[in-house]
Structure formats: C-alpha cells, structure tokens
Structure 1
C-alpha cells in the first residue's frame, strides 16, 4: 500500500496549548479523505504542517515519501486551498491563474477555463473586491485545475450556494476519476460530501479519535432512541459516544457493532435502533461528549479562542 501522507506523533504546540497532539495517521495515495472535527480540533494545523506552511513542535511528517519542509520537489506537488486565502491587492483572475499555472506542473488550463465559466468568475474585477462566493469559486478553480498529486481543501466552498457546491462536488468527483490523486477535504458540510469520501479522519482536541474507511466507520456505531429511563438503562451497559435528553425522551449514539443481544434488549425496552450518519458520528466524537461531561464545552471553547488553530 502506498501512502501519500504519513504522520507519526505529529505535535504542534502554541505555548501551553497543543493544537495537534501526537497525531499518527496514514493517508493512502489516490483517495478522497475527509478531515473532520469541530472548530479547534486541529484540522487546519494538520494541513499547515503537511504542506510545510508551519513546522511541528515534535513528530515526523512525510508527503510522497519525503519530508516536505524546504523540499521543492514535494512542494510543487501540493495544493492547499483555504477559506481565507489571500491574494496581492492588484491581482485579477488572470494573475491568479497565471501564478498557479507556473507553480503546478500538472496544471490543466482546460479544466480551469471550464470552472471559471461554470462559476461565472469575473475577469475584470480585482480579486480583493470579489464576493465571498467568488473567492470560494476561485479557490476551487486553483485547487482542482492544479491537478496536484496531493490537494487540500480547507473549507473554501463555504461561500458557495447549494447549487454551486453541487457543481464543485460533481466536477471534483469526475476529474478525480479521470485523473486520480490524493484529495483531503476539511468540511462541516458532512452530509453533503458523504458521497465523495472514501476514508475519514476525525480529530478532537488535537488527537485522532477515528481513522477508518467510511463504510467501516458507519458500522462502528449505532443510534438508540426512546423513553429517557429506558435509553439510560440501555446505555449503562454500553459505551455511549453521546446522549441527548429532551423531556422524557432521549437519543444516544453507541460505540460498537450492533449485536443480536443489543437488538433483543432494545425490543424488550421498546427502543428504536437506527444507523448513524457521518454528521452524527462526528458530532458524537466531538462536541457532544463535552456537553455530557457537565460544562467542559465552555472551557474547550475558551481554550480555542486563546489560539488553538483550527
């Protein structure tokens, strides 16, 4: 198996805050991977380290088998598009495209032209006057048309409306199938992007809490719902990732494979069992546990505000 990205004990600290804490992960070449987690989980920090835009406090990262720092051979094979991408004040569309074409050896002008027309990106307006949607579209053009061997999208599509996002998903999937490469997507629009993802890495508080194929991950948890007392009794004998209580009712996400014994216990207690979506899983592995811990969520948010990146 060939890995495009390998991180071992990767750590990035900002003072006393560990934005990334001993992360070990391998991302297979020519796959679409979702990098998921709540704000402050460490997603942007991870991508910044892998693309050599920042240096780790500890640990090792390799891209395409080599360390990326000050490695031009690797850097030219990377594309990192983020939501807050900045451009020189005098840049217009043509300048951004020209710079990307020079930097990326696999650049496809044909794909760039197609996307510019699809998203109706203005040619005469300076980029600094673009709307957020136009900036998002430009980032997508640069990321997809680069055809870099490893491409990162750090939520640059948030400024797009639903129709434009669908265009992005369709073109990404089509071009990926025609020109396989490694694509890593950081997103909060998990349900929308479900069909794109082959593998998922979930981060929480700078640590990896799940790293699995999408279908495998869905099989690692299930949901139970019903009367609050019955749900709490069911949960007491199992590992609950999250529990939501509303009046006399409750819903819980349970970690583990659903067994026949689980089914029988649920039927006996008049509880409903169902599968979980990726969105529900990410929520369960992150914020929900903070909320159930009795107030730690506020502390976590305060910590994020002090400087834990991404």
Structure 2
C-alpha cells in the first residue's frame, strides 16, 4: 500500500507502461504479472484495478450518472456515497452530458471514479489536466485522506512534481523506455545539493562527485551534485537543497536529449501521450 509517482517527460513510456500493466497493451518482451497473474483478459485481476486515463472516451449519449453507474458495476469496492460527495465538491451535475463537459470537468469525472472505486491498484494518468489549482488541491486532499482510511496502491503519473511531493512515497522515473530511478521518495529528497561559489572553490569541492548539472555565472560556478557531502565551514560556498522536481529534471537531463528508442512495452517506435 503505497502512493507511487510515475515520472518522465513526454514520450518516455509512462502511458504505455500503465497500459501494459492494465492489460490494454501486449508487452514486447519479458512477462507482466499483477497480483501474481497476467492481467490481459483476466477478470479476476482487472476487477481489482482501476485505470483513469488522461483521454478517457465515453459514448456520446453518456451522462455523468451513466459513468458512475458503470463504475459501480465494474469495481467491487465502489463507494456510491463518496462518489456523490465528490460530484458535489467538484461542482458537477449527474445529469450533465459528458460530451459537453469542459476539459477540467472531464478530468473531474475520472478523478471521482478513481477515488470512489477504492480499487486495490489504481492508476491515475495525468488526472489534473484542465483542473484549476483549487480543484487539483481538492483531488490531492481527498486522495490522501481516503488513502489513509482505505490503504491501497496508487500510481500517479504527473508532471506537477512539486504539487504532489507531499503525497508520494515512492518514485519511478523512466526515460526512453528505461527505468532511471525506482526509489523511496524521502531518500531522493536528500540525495542532491547545489553548490554555488567562486569557480575554483566549487571545482575543488565537487571533484570526484557525480554531477547532475552545472552552469557558469561569470566568475562563479553553480553545480548540482549527488550524495550528501560534508559542508566545509568558513568558505565562500553556498549550499541549496534540491527539490524532488529539480532532482528528477536534472537526472533526466543528465541522460541526454529526448528521443524515442524503444519505450517500455508495446509502444516501440510510437510516441505516447505522456
């Protein structure tokens, strides 16, 4: 029971990975097991999995209430009272036609289904698209509260890393279809530091340390290094903590420019939405 952040730039393979794990794509090599079994066309597995897609499609005549009724039939742990509460909090009406909803309202429908499903394994693929800051915070608050009361595994794909940094317990970072990080979020928060000061002093301090980023500022140098180095006393060096978002960005950048050379699963040679 953990809230995982699935991170990576556009085209990294995040959506493809989630599609493979939820039985919607075939893996191109290896084996995939969810709850100890292959997920594809496996009702016993898929009844315990909820996948909230960034671009979920509904029949043209569907209203919000139809989507909620369908979810009730799909998910054994469905909480209708919680869903009704969320509909009100996100300012939706159950009789609204889904095809007439705004981008943010459509995202809210997905968020409601994902939360109220209480599925043991829930995937949210960029669920915040179109949601304003207030609605996004409502999602984060309800997710954290309900997760505390009903522990389960949540996988959250997002680019808004700083916004969710207080929620996530584990980070998986992928780029070009490869896993760069698969670690506890708390450990990553203390992994790197940015050092700024006179060029020669900074060079001496960072010598031999793995670098994530460096930039020249006139006669000064600013370098981000990994590890938790002892900070010398009585020097002209300045030290800044590196946020989780900065660490993820710098780690990704350190592995080169973006290009697709074989994303995870069935998406090889094809760009994907996130």
Match among 150, 163, 171 for residue 200 of structure 1: 171
**Aligned length in residues:** 268
Retained in 2: the 8 A contact 1:243–1:288? Answer: no
Tell me the SS of whatever aligns to 1:148. coil
Q: Name the structure, 1 or 2, with higher relative contact order (CA <8 Å, separation 6+).
A: 2
Distance 2:146 2:40 in 1: 28
- Cα distance in 2 for residues equivalent to 1:307 and 1:267: 53
In structure 1, C-alpha distance between the alignment counterparts of 2:14 and 2:204, rounded to whole Å? 36
Shift of 1:289: 4.6
In structure 1, what is the equivalent of residue 246 of structure 2? 280
What is the aligned partner in structure 2 of residue 87 from structure 1? 58
Q: Which residue of 1 aligns with 2:140?
A: 169
Change (3 A) 1:245 1:205: farther
1:136 and 1:245 mapped to 2: Cα distance?
Answer: 42
Distance in 2 separating the partners of 1:244 and 1:133: 38
Higher strand share: 1
Aligned partners of 1:241 and 1:289 also within 8 Å? no
CA RMSD of aligned residues (A): 2.1
Question: More deviation in 211-220 or 182-191?
Answer: 211-220
Corresponding residue for residue 158 of structure 2: 187
Distance 1:83 1:148 in 2: 18
Distance 2:50 2:3 in 1: 14
TM-score under structure 1 length normalisation: 0.80
Structure-1 residue corresponding to 2:266: none
Deviation at 1:251, TM superposition (A): 2.8
Residues 197-236 of structure 1 aligned to structure 2 (within 5 Å): 197-228=168-199, 230-236=201-207
Per the alignment, residue 6 of structure 1 pairs with none
CA distance in 1: counterparts of 2:28 and 2:202, whole angstroms: 43
Q: Which runs of 5+ in 1 are unaligned?
A: 1-29, 291-295
Q: Any unmatched runs of 5+ in structure 2?
A: 264-268
How many Å separate the matches in 2 of 1:222 and 1:124? 52
TM-score normalised by L of structure 2 = 0.90
